[in-house]
Amino acid sequence: MGISESGNIARKLEAGKRKPRVIVIGTGLSGICMGVRLMSAGYDDLVLLEQADRCGGTWHYNQYPGLRCDVPSHYYQYSFEPSADWSQRFCGGAEIREYFEGVARKYHVFERIRFNTQVKHAEWTGSEWAVDLEQGGNSEQLRCDILISSCGILVRPKYPDIPGLDTFAGKTIHTARWDHSVDLTGKRAAIIGCGSTGVQMVEPLSKVCSKVISFQRTPQWVLPIPNRKYPEFGKRLARRFPIISKAYYVTFRFAMEQMMGRGIIKDGWSRKMVGKICKWNLESVKDAVLRAKLTPNYTAMCKRLVMSSDYYPALQKPNVELVTEGIDHVEPRGIVTKDGKLHELDVIALATGYHANEYMLPMTMTGENGVTLDDVWKDGPRGYRTVALPGFPNFFMVMGPHSPVGNFSLTSIAETQSTYIMRFVNLWAERKFETVRPREDATERFNAEMLANMKTTVWTTGCKSWYLDEKGVPGSWPWTATKFRNDLQDPRLQEYEIA
């Protein structure tokens, strides 16, 4: 289902259609995308529930120094809403959040958002969903015909279990809850964690802090990505000829899907090429001892690939230090490593990530016949083709379990999944069914096929990452982007129970 580029989103429903009551949980890029799809189709009996005070999801919560997307801006936008105003090839978080909020406002999704509202529980009554909310200490229940989760995959910050962390006399900040009131000028700062977030912070902190210490547990492969600013002339040209922005989108999508996407799912030229580029980048570290500390012992892309052209130069500055000795404990003056050395500090930044793959959790859900989400996910999150769950009628997910989050742009994923979900919303509006949920055998078959295809992915080559569950099994999409889009073209009604 396409989206009207004329902006006329208030068109009337076709004669004979009924209008569903829809609740969308979450207003990150996936929730906003879903809201736009619904509003564009005329389904405006819509409420979006957001626990934060602003929309944007991860781009609202994350505001740490150096934050930027490692997917090109023109590929991280919605294909139906190309922007000619991106300032750089890889834009900062604030600019990205403003883009998504602007889309929400343009398509009249924004005024349907209820902020500072936490979903505590959702229960299927036999004919509709009853959703229990909490807002400002007050409880409320809403009812809907169709419930859609767009909660994302990285939501709840993960705090490290380090003895004495709460005794530190300075300031401790998690990167997903950054405190802008803290003045870093001239401070001695530690960064715990060397994933994408920790890497992005080193260079900007090195410019204002007197000392920056990066505590590394596991080295990362780093792919250099030169960040080019877009000139005003180019922006004006793109505004006049929107096809330019669309061409950027197609070009970047092809490059990422062919170079990185294929390398992730199968060994071959693309995986080898990424590995060689990362090794070449590592050679830019002149000090042999430092270079050895930064050299991983696993295949590039086994962990989420870090992308930066600033990290290695920043580590070689005189006020930056890389510490690979393990952390023993924290005391009021700073961090003590296992060799007994005290690293005196003013600020500790926790770039320690999230509780990955929680999706709707910790909210609880009860489906038909009393089945609970805890029951269904007792062995880990699973779903049907990334968008639905057996036993949970008229319930859908954007960015659900097994989504290809390690392979492609999240906006592209959200567009594909929301388009698929809209087919079922339309069928309900056309009175083709009252309830729909995927069959258990179809879900089991999909998960078995997925597991069998994990063997050739880079995630199984021997490293620990948040892509793996507690049993060491990857949870992401093990096929190409083309297969993902093709699989969700057909609703496969024969694999659903329809009443």
pLDDT tens digits along 264-277: 989 999 999 999 99
Across the range 456-464, mean pLDDT stands at 90
Mean pLDDT of the chain: 93
Predicted pLDDT of residue 13? 60
Q: Please, what CATH class does the domain formed by 165-229+267-350 belong to?
A: alpha beta
The answer to whether the bond into 332 is cis (omega within 30° of 0) is no
pTM of the predicted protein model: 0.94
Distance between CA 372 and CA 122 in Å, rounded?
A: 10
- Answer whether 22-156+355-498 and 165-229+267-350 agree in fold: yes
Across the range 422-450, mean pLDDT stands at 96
* Residue 241 confidence (pLDDT) above 50: yes
Q: How confident is the model at residue 9 (pLDDT cuts 50, 70, 90)?
A: very low
**Domain spans of the chain?**
22-156+355-498, 165-229+267-350
Distance between CA 75 and CA 81 in Å, rounded?
A: 11
Q: Do residues 215 and 339 make contact, with C-beta atoms less than 8 angstroms apart?
A: no
Amino acid at 443: T
Q: What is the largest CA-CA distance in the chain?
A: 76
Predicted pLDDT of residue 15? 61
Across the range 456-480, mean pLDDT stands at 87
Neighbours of 11 (CB within 10 A): 12
Residue with the bigger pLDDT between 49 and 244: it is 49
Q: What CATH number should be reported for the domain whose range is 22-156+355-498?
A: 3.50.50.60
* Residue 470 confidence (pLDDT) above 80: no
pLDDT digits (tens, 9 = 90+) for 373-396: 999 999 889 999 999 999 999 999
Amino acid at 139: S
Predicted pLDDT of residue 271? 93
Residue showing tokens 């259609």: 17
Helices (H) and strands (E) in the chain, counts: 15, 21
Q: Look up residue 104 and give its two tokens.
A: 């929400």
* Residue 11 confidence (pLDDT) above 70: no
Q: How confident is the model at residue 295 (pLDDT cuts 50, 70, 90)?
A: very high
The sign of the CA dihedral 20, 23, 27, 28 is negative
Triad 383, 386, 389: Cα angle to 5°: 35
* Residue 6 confidence (pLDDT) above 70: no
Amino acid at 300: A
pLDDT digits (tens, 9 = 90+) for 157-206: 999 999 999 999 999 999 999 999 999 999 999 999 999 999 999 999 99
